[in-house]
Structure 1
């Protein structure tokens, strides 16, 4: 009986790695992006702009807090920093709702929105864990015309944030 157990353990130890290697790889269990109005990575995921790897991982634009790039400093997503790619520009009024689609819900310190090189809105979640979507109404007081909005989700318990750029035409 003891010999059968050893044989079963040996067979299991040999078969388990083969089973693990044969399972399909899943995408990174990452995190979130602005889905509405369609951010640059949402447009890539929809196939409306040719973008490379970000097409498969729109939720993965993660980098250290404090960056100002659409790619979050990720070289593999550098297409997001290219303002000449023909991104869809969304006509908005004096304010608009931005909706984040979250695939992993991290405790959140703040959500920030920048346009024209200045912070135009900040929402403090105080470490709360958001739901599957989060919507903020952002005012564009004092701004008009074409603007690139940088939306930032600052995670509470890491040094990282998630980044999304949305092209808008204020008053358009």
Structure 2
């Protein structure tokens, strides 16, 4: 009986590494992006712009808090930082509702919106877990013309945030 147990353990120990190597890898946990008006990654996912790997994971533009890049500092998604890429521009009024589509509902610190390098709005969720869709109405005050809006979802319990850029024409 003792020999059978040893044999079973030896076989298990030999097979375990093979199982780990051959089992399918699940994708990384997904997160969120601005779906309306269409962010740059939403345009990529819809096939409106050729963008590389972001097409398959528009919700994954994650990086350290405090960045100002559309790619969240992620070199795999550097195309999102290219302002000359031909992004579709959405005409909006002086205030606009932005909708985030969340595929993982992280505890949320704040949602921030920047235009022209300045913060134009911030919404504090105080650590709450948001629903699958979150919307914020942002008032742009006196801003007009073509703008790149940087939207940031700051996660409450990590050092990271999710980033999305939306190209708009305010007042037109």
Which of the five TM-score ranges fits, normalised by the shorter chain? over 0.9
Shift of 1:61: 1.2
- Gapped regions of structure 2 (runs ≥ 5): none
| 1:97 paired residue number | 97
**Does the 8 A contact of 1:27 with 1:57 survive in 2?**
no
Instruction: Give, in whole Å, the separation in 2 of the partners of 1:48 and 1:23.
Output: 34
| 1:54 paired residue number | 54
- Aligned runs of 1:82-121 on 2, under 5 Å? 82-121=82-121
Q: Bigger shift: 110-119 or 134-143?
A: 134-143
Instruction: Give, in whole Å, the separation in 2 of the partners of 1:53 and 1:156.
Output: 27
Shift of 1:69: 0.9
- Gapped regions of structure 1 (runs ≥ 5): none
Instruction: Give, in whole Å, the separation in 1 of the partners of 2:3 and 2:104.
Output: 46
Paired positions, count: 172
Instruction: Give, in whole Å, the separation in 1 of the partners of 2:12 and 2:133.
Output: 42
Distance 1:57 1:91, change over 3 A: same
Shift of 1:67: 1.0
* SS in structure 1 at match of 2:85: coil
Shift of 1:139: 1.4
TM, length-normalised to structure 2: 0.92
TM, length-normalised to structure 1: 0.92
Shift of 1:18: 2.0
**Deviation digits for residues 48-101 of structure 1 (CA, Å, limit 9, x no counterpart):** 111122222211211111111111112221111101111111121222211111
Alignment partner of 1:31 is 2:31: yes
Moved over 3 A (4+): none
Distance 1:47 1:26, change over 3 A: farther
| 2:145 paired residue number | 145
| 1:41 paired residue number | 41
| 1:70 paired residue number | 70
| 2:8 paired residue number | 8
